[in-house]
Amino acid sequence: MSEMNRGIVAVCETDGNEKLKNVSFEIISEGKRLADITGEKVTAVVMAEKKPELSDIYACGADEIVFVRKVSSLLYDIESESWLASKVIEKIKPSVVLFGATDYGRILAPKVAAICRCGITADCTSFEINENKKLVQIRPALGGNILAHIISPHTMPQMASVRPSVLKKMKTEKEVTGHFVEVSFDIPENRKKVKELKRESFEANDDDKIENGRIIVAAGSGVTSRETLQLMNNFAKLIGGVSGCSRKLVESGWMPHSKQVGQSGKTVSPDIYIAIGISGASQHLAGMKTSGKIIAVNNDADADIFSVADIGFVMDGNLWLKEMMKFLENRQNNG
């Protein structure tokens, strides 16, 4: 069976404004990197209401774009799109299929895999091609304490979802183009059972999204007062960063889920990550340890967060924020 399967497919995801999400460019780029090793071609599959901006997709390395025009108005049409993706995969017969491990991708991908009756690995952070030309899918497990290397030895295609913001988006400078196909399928009735009654977006605009932040300042359970949280938000603004948090602050209702960094939240990889009062549970570390520079502030000198940090402060978070802001303001005044 495996001799017949050729090509790498990236199943893309669009946001509410019909723009391709960053993670889609990341999986196309990774697909291209793998394709260069195996000598296959890369197909980007886009299921959307409107035709996407093609040049951006080709620029990441896609040889071909398969566009499936969405007819339903559901933002997350899990049932139809899992079926549609499986139909496209059935036609292309690729050896590898990649999904972005967003909330949507993490529910879509296992359904597609179950329809195709193939193996799937969730939340991969890197890939290798082994000596048998198999895709080695590498993912953190056990709360980020270990990395598991996983293969699908007997089934095709080899599917994986990929953590956003971990792999790099590549871009070629040259004017590139490729093959474009539009396909359509009649969606069966039993795939139309879910209706969307209402949609509410969180107010976060693009600049305020943690996945876009080049500097992130995040609070953990050591931040025990609203005043400190406010101070942290002000500090984040002052240095041009966005604020984030660990799971504890979401559970206490102080921060929205959209701001959560970690295994059950988002993976981020900013240039600078500043952790205030975060103890560094492995679940949290799994979501941020690939950041460029990590600065940690914690009362407890033994906190695990220091094991991944570049600079650590054994200090109270509130005091640290006040002193740090004073320091930066003085710097500004003195030129």
The reply on whether position 315 binds another protein by CB under 8 A is yes
Rounded CA gap, 106 and 121, in Å?
10
The reply on whether position 133 binds another protein by CB under 8 A is no
Of residues 210 through 249, those in contact with another protein by CB under 8 A are 214-215, 239-240, 248
| Sign, CA torsion 242/243/247/252 | negative
Q: How many residues bind another protein (CB under 8 A)?
A: 100
Least Cα distance to 48 among 77, 10, 91, 88 occurs for 77
Of residues 250 through 289, those in contact with another protein by CB under 8 A are 250-252, 257-258, 263-264, 266, 271-272, 281-283, 285-286, 289
Q: Of 35 and 286, which CB lies nearer to another protein in the complex structure?
A: 286
Q: What mask of x and - would describe binding to another protein in positions 147 to 176, judged by CB under 8 A?
A: xxxxxxxxx---------------------
The reply on whether position 202 binds another protein by CB under 8 A is yes
Q: Tell me the two tokens of residue 185.
A: 């399928």
Rounded CA gap, 297 and 310, in Å?
11
The reply on whether position 312 binds another protein by CB under 8 A is yes
Please pick, from the candidates 49, 53, 182, 323, the single residue that binds another protein as defined by CB under 8 A: 323
The reply on whether position 78 binds another protein by CB under 8 A is yes
3-class state of residue 290 by DSSP: coil
What's the min distance (Å) between Cβ of 175 and another protein?
26
The reply on whether position 146 binds another protein by CB under 8 A is yes
124 phi and psi angles, rounded to 5 deg: -70, 150
Please pick, from the candidates 295, 317, 318, 321, the single residue that binds another protein as defined by CB under 8 A: 295
The reply on whether position 194 binds another protein by CB under 8 A is yes
Q: What mask of x and - would describe binding to another protein in positions 58 to 77, judged by CB under 8 A?
A: ----------------xxx-
Of residues 100 through 119, those in contact with another protein by CB under 8 A are 102-104, 106-111, 113-115, 117-119
Residue in this structure with the two tokens 């939240």, named with its chain if needed: 265
Residue in this structure with the two tokens 């991708």, named with its chain if needed: 105
Please pick, from the candidates 301, 302, 333, 335, the single residue that binds another protein as defined by CB under 8 A: 301
221 phi and psi angles, rounded to 5 deg: -65, -15
Q: Of 41 and 248, which CB lies nearer to another protein in the complex structure?
A: 248
Least Cα distance to 138 among 125, 122, 156, 152 occurs for 125
Rounded CA gap, 135 and 131, in Å?
10
What's the min distance (Å) between Cβ of 140 and another protein?
6
Which residues share a beta bridge with 141? 146
Rounded CA gap, 203 and 266, in Å?
17
What's the min distance (Å) between Cβ of 174 and another protein?
24
CB neighbours of 76 closer than 8 A, spacing ≥ 6? 104, 196
CB neighbours of 57 closer than 8 A, spacing ≥ 6? 12, 20, 25, 28, 44, 46, 65
What's the min distance (Å) between Cβ of 177 and another protein?
30
Of residues 14 through 33, those in contact with another protein by CB under 8 A are 15-16
What's the min distance (Å) between Cβ of 229 and another protein?
17
112 phi and psi angles, rounded to 5 deg: -60, -45
What's the min distance (Å) between Cβ of 62 and another protein?
25
